[in-house]
Amino acid sequence: MSSIPLTDFSALTDDATARQLAIDPSTPPAELERLLGRGAEIDRALVRHPNVPLHVYRALAATYPRSACANPAIGRLIEEEPGLIQAIPRLLKQPFCPPSQLRWGAGHGSRGQQLAVLRNPAVPDDVRVLLTPAHFHNDALRRLESLALAQPT
């Protein structure tokens, strides 16, 4: 009798088969989940896979942000968890980050998220103009004014 539980098929999958499953667009989400943690190459393929479960994507996106943004189903994943990009700000720096998310980061993100948008080499011009030095200067002035108003007189 084997000590491997019958529900753990990942232990029965050799590395070559695991790599093939991780890139095959027809691999179901449950099988992809079983491949998590089988090595960097497989994890990068998982985070790019269109059928990746949200929790697997979330677990890998911060480690492999470029691959995460290359996922053709990123729109679906963001719909499932609207705060996904905000939770993983490194995605905003990636060239494949969706323009809609860059616009969100520029208009509503924290200062760090806005700087991440500026570091993105593919940021659209209409987004870049939202983040001029004047924007950051005016934001700093607003913060100073609110601090001054909060001080007891």
Residue pLDDT, tens place only, 7-23: 444 454 688 899 999 99
CA within 13 Å, CB half, 3: 0
Higher pLDDT, 26 or 3: 26
**pLDDT attached to residue 118:** 92
User: b/e map of 32-63 (b: 16 or more CB within 10 Å)?
Assistant: bebbbebeeebbbbbbbbebbbeebbbbbbee
**pLDDT attached to residue 42:** 96
Q: Using the predicted structure, report yes or no on whether residue 152 has a pLDDT greater than 70.
A: yes
**pLDDT attached to residue 1:** 38
**pLDDT attached to residue 89:** 81
8 A C-beta contact, residue 64 and residue 44: yes
**pLDDT attached to residue 2:** 38
Rounded to the nearest integer, the mean pLDDT of the chain is: 85
Q: Using the predicted structure, report yes or no on whether residue 137 has a pLDDT greater than 90.
A: no
Q: What is the C-alpha to C-alpha distance for residues 153 and 131, in angstroms, rounded to an integer?
A: 34
pLDDT mean over 89-116: 87
CB atoms within 10 A of CB 106: 24
**pLDDT attached to residue 108:** 84
pLDDT mean over 85-105: 86
**To 10 degrees, what angle do helices 54-61 and 40-48 make?**
120
